[in-house]
Structure 1
Amino acid sequence: MKAVFAGTPEFAAVALRAMIEAGFEIPLVLTQPDRPAGRGMQLQASAVKQVALAHGIEVLQPLSLRMDSKDAQRAEEAKAAHERLLATDYDVMVVAAYGLILPRATLDIKPCINIHGSLLPRWRGAAPIHRAIESGDPETGVTIMEMEEGLDTGPMLLMERLPILDTDTTGSLHDKLAEMGGRMIVDALQRMAAGGLQAEPQPEEGVTYAAKISKEEAKLDLARPALELARKVRAFNPFPGAHAQAGGVTVKIWNAQAVDGKGRPGQVLSADAQGIVVACGEGALRLTELQKPGGKRLAAGEFLKGFSFDGVSFE
C-alpha cells in the first residue's frame, strides 16, 4: 500500500518511522509549518518533517487544508495542497496528531485512518493522554479509526489497552502509546492490504472530550484533595508543568505523591530530603522534584539547599 502521512509531533514521528521501516511507500508527508522554538526562538521543523526529510520524502506544510478559508493565504495553500494530493498516487492517508482539521474535500480523496491515543469513545479530542491521567483512569490505549468530519467519531479498526501506572506521567505514557501506535498502524495497513480488517462503530455511551491543555490549569489549588493534585502533577509533566506560589516565587512541581497529613491548605508540614510535605484540602502532598524560575529541576533535598520554607506557605 502507498500511504500519505499527516502528522506533526514526536507521537506521529514514531508511527512514520515504523511505516518506513516496515517498507510502506510514502510519497508525501503533510505536517504543520516550522515554528519558533528554544531560547533563541529559531524556526524548527516538526519531528515528522525531520523524519521525512531524512528519508527523502516530499513534505507539504500548508497553514490550512480548508479551501473555503476567509484568509486568502490559507485558502491558497489549502488549494495547492488539495491539488497535490489529487496528483499523488496513494491508497490511504494515515493521520496522527496532525493538528489541522481535515475537511470533507480531503477525506473524500482516499480513505483516511487515524492513530488516536485513547480507548475511544473516551477522550475524543486534543489531549487524551493528559486527561486520562488527570481523571485517574486505570487504563488507556490506542485506537486506529476511520476518519470522518466529526471529532474522533469514526468507526474503529483496531484497539489495544494499556494500564496506567501510579508512576506514569504524560511524558512516560506518551512514549508507550507512541510505540504502540507505530506497531498498530503497521499491523492495520498490512491487514487492510490483505482485506482482513473490519470497522465497527464506536459505542454511543461513554463519550468524553479531552479539551486542549491550558497553562492556567497548571496552577495547583491546594484546597483540593491531595490525590487529585498528585494526578495533576503527573498529567502536566512535561507540559505545562504544575506549579504553585511559595513566598511570592512560582515553584514548578514535577513529581509529588499524596500522603497522610492535616493542616491549613498550603501549609508546609515538613521539609527534608524525602520531600516537602504540603497540607491540602484533604490529605497532603509530598513534593519530591521542584524547580525555581530560571533554575534546574531538582530533587527535594537539592532544592532545599537554595530555598528555605521557614515561615513560608504555598498558595
Structure 2
Amino acid sequence: MTDPVAPEASAPLPLPPAHPRRLVYLGTPEMAVAPLRALHAAGYEVALVVTGADKRRGRRAEPSPTPVKLAAIELGLQVSHDLADVPAVGADLGVVVAYGRIIRRPLLEVLPMVNLHFSLLPRWRGAAPVERALLAGDERTGVCVMAVEEGLDTGGVYASVDLAIRRTSTAAELGAQLTDIGSRLLVDTLAAGLGTAVPQEGEPTYAAKLGPADLHLPWERPAVELDRVVRVGGAWTTFRGKRLKVLRSRPWPADPAPGAPGELHADRAATGHGTLQLLDVQPEGKAATAFGDWANGARPAAGELLGAGVDA
C-alpha cells in the first residue's frame, strides 16, 4: 500500500527489470502466504521477506508471528520487520502483497516494486477491496499486478484477471479464490516479462478498512443488503441488550416484512424490504450454533425485536 496523498510532480521512479530474479517480498496476512510460496516454488530468489511485527492475539498470549513470517521461516528465508533492511540485500524487484504499511518514495527510488492487489483497479483502491466489493453489490471483482507508486494504488497495471461474485459468495471464499488466481497471475506475469504498465482508466473508488459500524445490521435496510454484510463476516446485531453475531443467512426479498424492522418471526427477521432468514448465529460469549438451537434456549417471543437500543 502506498501514500494516499497525491505527491507533487517529481522525477519518474525507476522501472523494474523485465525479468527480475532476486526479490524482496513484503506481506503480512494469510492472504499473502500463497503468493510467497508460489514465487519460491517458481525458483525466484527471495532475498528478504519484510512483514509486520509479532503481535499478541490475546491479553495473556505471547506475541505470535504473522502468517507470512511463519511461511518464510518454514521456507528458510531471511525475515525482517524493518523496511530499512531492504536496500542492503541487492534485490532487483520488490513484490508487495497486503503488506499493510506505507512505502515511501525514497525506498521506491532504490528498488522498483509491483503490488498484487485484489480488485479491478481503479475500483476499490485501498485496504479492504474484497469486502467493499461485496458490500457494494458488485457483480465482478478481480486481481491486478500493478506498479507501486507514491499514490494509493495509483500505479499502472501489468496484468489482471476478473472473477464473478456469486449471490452466495462470502468474503472468505472470494479471498481464497483471488489468492489462488493472483498467485498464478503474479508468477506468470513475471515469467512473461513485465513490459509496460497500462495506466488505470475510470473513476477510482476507495476501500477503507472495515470497523464494527460497517458490520452492524441496520434492519431498516433491504434484506439483500443485510445478507451482504453477513457474507463479509463478523455481522452483528443485539438481542435483549447483548450482541448476537449472524454468521450465515438467506435473504427473501419477495417476502412481505411481518412488522417493524428487526421484528423476529421464527427464523426470519423483518427488514426494510423483505425478510432475512437467520441460519447460524453466535451469542455473546458463547460458541457458534444453528439458529434453531439458539432459539430453543433463548426462546424469543413472536415479534420480539433484534437490534433494539443498538449503539454501533
User: What is the TM-score normalised by the length of structure 2?
Assistant: 0.88
- 1:247 corresponds in structure 2 to 240
The aligned residue for residue 256 of structure 2 is 261
What is the CA deviation profile of residues 58-92 of structure 1, one whole-angstrom value per residue up to 9, with x for unaligned ones? 11113xx5xxxxxxxxxxxxxxx2xx322212110
After TM superposition, give the deviation of residue 39 of structure 1 in Å. 6.4
* Residue of structure 1 in register with 2:166 after alignment: 165
Tell me the distance in 1 between the aligned counterparts of 2:146 and 2:51: 20
1:229-254 C-alpha deviation (Å, 9 max, x unpaired): 1111112x1xxx11111122211001
Contact 2:87 2:111 in 1 (8 A): no
CA contact (8 A) 2:249 2:276 kept: yes
Question: Could you report, residue by residue, the CA deviation over 1:161-188 in whole angstroms, capped at 9, with x for unpaired residues?
Answer: 1111112111111111111111111112
Structure 1 counterpart of 2:43 = 23
Displacement of 1:43: 0.8
Greater RCO between the two (CA within 8 Å, min separation 6)?
A: 2
8 Å Cα contact 1:139/1:164 also seen in 2: yes
What number of residue pairs does the alignment pair up?
283
Corresponding residue for 1:136? 137
Structure 2 letter corresponding to 1:198: T
Give matches, 1:225-244, under 5 Å: 225-235=222-232, 237=233, 241-244=234-237
The offset of 1:15, in angstroms, is: 0.5
Tell me the C-alpha RMSD between the 2 structures. 1.3
2:248–2:280: 8 Å Cα contact kept in structure 1?
yes
Map 1:1-315 onto structure 2 (within 5 A).
1-38=21-58, 40-62=60-82, 65=83, 81=84, 84-192=85-193, 197-203=195-201, 205-235=202-232, 237=233, 241-259=234-252, 260-262=255-257, 263-269=259-265, 271=266, 276-310=267-301, 312-315=304-307
Cα distance in 2, alignment partners of residues 13 and 134 from structure 1? 25
Partner of residue 4, structure 2: none
Structure 1: which 5+ residue stretches go unaligned?
A: 66-80
| C-alpha contact (below 8 Å) 2:23/2:95 kept by paired residues | yes
The answer (yes or no) to whether the contact 2:262–2:270 under 8 Å persists in 1 is yes
Moved more, 295-304 or 3-12: 295-304
TM-score of the superposed pair, with normalisation by structure 1 = 0.87
Per the alignment, in what secondary structure is the counterpart of residue 176 of structure 1?
helix
Does the aligned pair in 2 maintain the 1:146–1:157 contact within 8 Å? yes
What's the CA shift for 1:305? 2.7
For residue 42 of structure 1, report the CA deviation from its aligned partner.
Answer: 2.4
2:277 and 2:256 map into 1 onto residues whose CA distance is: 10
